[in-house]
Structure 1
Amino acid sequence: MSTREKKDLLAETDRLREEGRQEEARERLLALTARFPDDAEVAYRTACVHDAMGLETEAAPYYERSLAGAGLGAEDRRGALLGLGSTYRVLGRYGQAVETLGRGVEEFPDDGALKTFLAMALFHTGEHHEAMRLLLRLLASTSDDRHVQRYRSAIEHYAKDLHATT
């Protein structure tokens, strides 16, 4: 099978997913995965369809495989790190979630979604201060709310030390 044929089949599975035909997309992706077990892009798409169907246990190995290989573009890599980290969190594998999402934040420091999911994972590990710090900094830097922006410097100050009173 040529690269072009594989791309066409992946585009078809994307279309099926967009049409809400998740199971049909899943079946086609599983067949592609059997043919291309080391293909990072195929593994990523297979992980995504399982994740979207609420099959996190099945999604995790595909996310892992997609990140272990070469060939993911930056946006897919970002999505795979977020997807795997979030999946680990849902499965109660909080330490792995923190490690994966932390790696994602290191690679993509401007990604607010990765920071948000990292904060949720940190909460589950009892690292409440760090989770709040991340969320407060994210809120201060991304909110368009004029009231938040009015107090941005105070929010950023307290994000450094929630125990501060001045």
Structure 2
Amino acid sequence: MSTLTRDERLAGAVALRTAGEKERAKDQLVVLAAEFPDDLEIAFQTAWAHDTLGLEAAAVPFYETAVGRPGLPPDDRKGALLGLGSTYRTLGRYAESVKTLRQGVAEFPDDGGLRTFLAMALYNTGEHREAVGTLLHLLATTSGDAGVTDYREAIAFYADRLDETWPG
């Protein structure tokens, strides 16, 4: 048993990950997660450590713990929902990805990352119209490109009307 506190150990593991020592960080976080299995912050950091190593399947249970109940700070919760949703997608679990990312967008509607990953997952589930519409809305609201800003209103209007035509 370490003489360091939970917070000191967690901060040390996060510092290792930030410094590029991802495997050591993961190993320390796995020990912490075993000691504190209901700790949302440790679960999130452990999931993230696995994800950075390409260990997506191993990250899932930690992400699920992290988002399973309220308690994470908003930025961490947003990151955990995006991480879990994108990890589900990577693993081919598309319906779970869409469900998770929809939840993330509902909680954080202005987050472009969540909306982008939701569009990718929607594409994977065959919901192409909604996927493109989501991306067009994101493009219309966030782009600084003159070719987009000049047509911002039209792009936003047509994002929900991709299949409509008008007599001309």
Q: Which amino acid aligns with 1:58?
A: A
Change in 2 beyond 3 A, CA 1:157/1:70: closer
Once structures 1 and 2 are overlaid, which stretch shifts more, 6-15 or 39-48?
Answer: 6-15
Deviation at residue 69 of structure 1 after TM alignment: 3.7
Q: TM-score, normalised by structure 2?
A: 0.94
Are the counterparts in 2 of residues 39 and 71 from structure 1 also a CA contact under 8 Å?
A: no
Letter in 2 for 1:164: E
Please identify runs of 4+ aligned residues in structure 1 that moved more than 6 A.
none
Question: Bigger shift: 68-77 or 16-25?
Answer: 68-77
Deviations 1:60-106 (A, max 9, x none): 00000111144311111000000000000000000000000000000
| Offset from partner CA, 1:102-152 (integer Å, 9 cap, x none) | 000000000000000000000000000000000000000000111100011
The amino acid of 1:65's aligned partner reads T
Cross-structure match for 1:141: 141
The aligned length equals 164
**Root-mean-square deviation (Å):** 1.3
Report the counterpart of residue 132 of structure 1 in structure 2.
Answer: 132
Matched, 1:44 2:36: no
Task: Say which is worse superposed, 62-71 or 43-52, in terms of deviation.
Answer: 62-71
Contact conserved, 1:136 with 1:156, CA < 8 A, in 2?
A: yes
Counterpart of 1:121 in structure 2 is: 121
One-letter identity of the residue aligned with 2:27: E
User: What stretches of structure 1 of length at least 5 have no aligned partner?
Assistant: none
Deviation at 1:50, TM superposition (A): 0.2
